[in-house]
Each structure stands twice: as structure tokens, then as C-alpha cells.
Amino acid sequence: MTGWTKGAIVVTGGSRGIGAQIARRLAARGVPVCVNHRDSAAEADALADEIVKAGGEVSVVRADIGEEADIVALFEQAESRHGKLYGLVNNAGYVGRAGRRVDAAEAEVLRRSFAVNVIAPFLCAREILRRISTRQGGEGGRIVNISSIAKRTGSPNDWVDYAASKAALDAFTLGLGREVATEGVTVNGVAPGIVDTEIHARSGDPQRMERLSAVVPMKRVGSADDIAATVEWLLLDAPDYIQATTIDVAGGL
């Protein structure tokens, strides 16, 4: 894509995994990207160098999206650096260690899970809507929320809190999409299945992905690019009549 003038897209949790691949794909299409991270500066800077070398436009902004003040600052900096914003990918997510049962739940873990996975997407959407909604004087744009197939499986004996937070995110996608349907903004979601990213190793169960792949009808795990390609399509190519919908990208699960 050449001559893109609609503005930059903010990708939360964009320094690695699915978020990084989304940033790569958008930049390759000529879209300026703001990559957000919380504590992975080295990965974010390396990604930015990669994008710049390939001819793309990118900024990197550190912000803990579990904190409202950081979210406000993220969008202020993104707007300052790129001049105009067009979209948002609510990609950042929080999962604790695998194998946690509800009878061992900790309030602090639950608070963090819902702060990052539910409250942050609300607040990030608030900030982008104030800039792109035609009701607010903007020119329109697109929002994509990254959900999870866990919303349907419930992740028993593992991540029930995470699954519950993603079910809430799907409800948010539906409600917000309908709320802004006449304001030039599309709101949709993508729900990955079992995807080959570092999140499994960081959860304390590096064999989890291989073990669970057997239940996928396609008998393989997905890649970050499987998800990123779907997000790219929703942001740049999908008809705007697709609204308030979450697409499962899960190999048939």
C-alpha cells in the first residue's frame, strides 16, 4: 500500500508475539505504527529498527496499560509523534502461571488480569474514540480487540480468570461496536486458538502448547502470523459492514 494518509495505528503489547507481527504487517502496508510495551524495551527497539530498515514508520511508547494515566500518556505521545491516529489494536494481555485453580485464586492476580484484559481496552478505546469518532469531530477509524478461544472453553484448572476476562472483552466488542456503528468506527475482535508464542513458556508450562495441539481439529497450533493476517484484514481491507463481531482463528476449535 502506498500513499496511506489515514493516520497511525496503536498496537498495545506490540513488542513481541502476535503484537509484533501485527506491527510488521501494518508497517509493510505503509501504515505508521505505534508499538506499546510495558517492560520489553529491547524487543520493542529491535522491532522498530527492523521496521525502519524495511522502510516503515514506527514509534515506541512505554506504558503500563493497567494504569489509566499511562494509557492517556500513550495516546498523547502517539498523536504527538504521528500527527494523526486511525486505529487501535487492543492486543496486550495478562495471564499468570498455568495450572491455577479457582480455589487457589489470589485477588491481586484477578485484579491485574481484569485491569489489563478488560479495563485497559475500555480506556484505550475511550482515548482513540475521542480522536477518530465522527461524533467527536474525527474522520473515522477501526478498532480490533484480541480475544481468545478460552472464552468458550473456560480454561478449567488453568486460566479461568483469563477466560472470563476474554468473555468480557467479547461483550465489550459487541456493545461498543453497536454503540459507535454510526460514527465511522468499526469495532471487531479476533479470538486466537492455541498459538505458538512465548506466552506458554512464560506461564511456567513450556510443554502446554504441544500438549494441547492434539485437540485442534487441524492437528497443529497456529502462528502469530495467522492472527496478524486476520487483524490486518479487519483494519485495512474488510468492508465496514463487518461490525461488532469476533472472528475465531483457532484451526476449527
Parallel/antiparallel/unpaired status of strands 246-249 and 85-90: unpaired
Active site amino acids: 162
Question: Quick check: 170 and 189 in contact, CB under 8 A?
Answer: yes
CA terminus-to-terminus distance, the chain? 33
Q: Which residues pair with 34 in a beta bridge?
A: 10, 59
Distances, alpha carbon 201 to alpha carbons 36, 96, 109, 196, in Å: 22, 11, 18, 10
Helix (H) or strand (E) holding 36: strand 33-37
